[in-house]
Structure 1
Amino acid sequence: MNDTVALLQKFNAHPDSRCWYVAWNPKGTLLASCGGDRAIRIWGREGDSWECKTLLQDGHQRTVRKVAWSPCGNYLASASFDATTCIWKKKNDDFECLTVLEGHENEVKCVAWAPSGNLLATCSRDKSVWIWEVDEENEYECVSVVNSHTQDVKHVVWHPTQELLASCSYDNNVCVYKEEDDDWECRATLEGHTSTVWGLTFDPSGQRLASCSADCTVKIWKECQPEEGTDAAWKCVCTLSGFHGRTVYDIAWCPLTGALATACGDDGVRVFKEDETADPDQPAFSLSAHVPKAHTQDVNCIAWHPKEAGLLVSCSDNGEIAVWNYQSGV
């Protein structure tokens, strides 16, 4: 491993509670974090450090599990264990709660915007995935409820350019959805993990999907050309095993460099690099950098900066956020 991950800054983002998730806005000028303290914090860069610009703490009654920026950067969605999703509108340096999306029976585990900004997906412990449509008046309507998982749905992620959605679950599976005749349907179920699948990320092209699991592995799935009259199939083309000591909670594919980063329950942050000489149908990834004690407790999330290659953040059960600089030796 000639590559390095250097710590730039570490700060206590959610005192006395878990920091569950961090998300960059599309320009990379702001960072949103959420936690067990029911709060959302918006961080901005001041010189070489990051400082809290805004505190949002009146939207949810329980833990805020995930936050997601709209593609235009003017809206922030937050998913909570109180069974609701809040939509916040950015107004200068402040945010106001526009609307609260209700309907899930219990904990909402994730929220994600489609690349168009016109669709929103939520998923829940109630085993369902909901698709919401947004109109020009900022009215949100649930247009589809899909029940393709048999257990708690942990994460949803959209394809980077298409209206194609993937979800993962406590049932060990990944589902891929597409709209058909004004309704959303599960078009593929990806089976292979032997325990809960916690996180998903598409590669920059959207042709591959990476999943991470409590079985301590990462799997790379590739979309295959469908036979005539059939749906596109996804097959597992690579499994990364033997690298993680505990559950892999999150995974992120860098849109700028193609590096793959993981957040793990063994307190480590890892970066994997693809062998560009390998057969695309049989990709090979090597561990290029590893920070064994990135945090003192479980690492819950990892996120690459959208504009600065090598800049990434992680957050932990101890309430901390860490900012890192990954440099490739090649």
Structure 2
Amino acid sequence: MSPDTTEPNPPEPSKAQIRRWRQYLADERAEAAVYRDLAGRRAGEEKEILLGLAEAETRHERHWIDLLGDRVGKPRRGDAHTRFLGFLARRFGSVFVLALVQRAETRSPYDSEPDATPEMAADERIHVEVIRGLATHGRSRLSGSFRAAVFGANDGLVSNLSLILGVGASGVASNIILLTGVAGLLAGALSMGAGEYVSVRSQRELLEASTPDPEARHVLPDLNIDANELALLYRSRGMNPHEAEAQASAVLREGSSGQGAESPGRDEHEAVGTGFRAAISSFCFFAAGAVVPVLPYLFGLHALTAVFVAAALVGLTLLGTGAIVGLLSGGPPLQRGLRQLMIGYGAAAVTYLLGHLVGVGGA
């Protein structure tokens, strides 16, 4: 009598497993929709990449459908965070949305999920890097003006709050504090705008001085193939002598195309931004930040009431700007916001204490 070779039926999944699988299925469908919505706002290579990510999420979706079998049940909604990303993707599709998606992908549960395959966990890890790559170009475009905007807003918030608290702690009248705050706003905004313009213009001029001349490739056909300085050019750009000689020989063999005579890579000028744009961003955002601690005095508040309201408004704004930086950089928004808050409040507290000491000493 031959032994029974039939495989035993797999164990029946528990109710908790079924609930978890259904939620994973809903989340995969929602994530695939986010990628399709993002793709709908893009073209060319970026569109194809995002559609490829959507297809990967669809493969994960099929895995949970296979496990559930006839227990799929009614379609469920994805988690609130993924639905919110879908809302943003449909309406904006900006680098901020990509940064949010990048952060969401890092929270994939599949590394510790026994019912997910190793391939699915690996897919999610690669998805983070794909989104990081897509977001990099947008971050580069934003970096110049965004840096100036964030720096300007935070400088306006902290410096004018510190100025107002320091002067107020000395015991002067509220109208003097208001005048001080307005003067600090104007002086700081003008100084920031002028300084940022000079800084960015200087940086661009340094980059321009280091950028290879594209016209240099036209002299390649006239170089002596046995004795020329093309190898020295490549050595000056960091190649060792052997690599430089090989590159020079290859370029000369290719003729006058001269592709090797130029340094590849992204445009550094794009990351720096323009001086005028940086100056306008710094001026406007410094002024926007500096007006926040002045608002209580503009609305007629006095003494400690005005101080507490100004500190609260500045604190909320610092949390917001820190969270935005965290979102754009892919970092934890709350942690970045709290960091901004502690730095701002620390500077303001020191100035307040100094103003109080001056006031007591003057009395």
* TM class by smaller structure: under 0.3
TM-score by length of 1: 0.21
TM-score by length of 2: 0.19
More helix by share: 2
Q: 1 or 2 for the larger relative contact order (CA 8 Å, sep ≥6)?
A: 2
More strand by share: 1
**Which of structures 1 and 2 has the bigger CA Rg?**
2
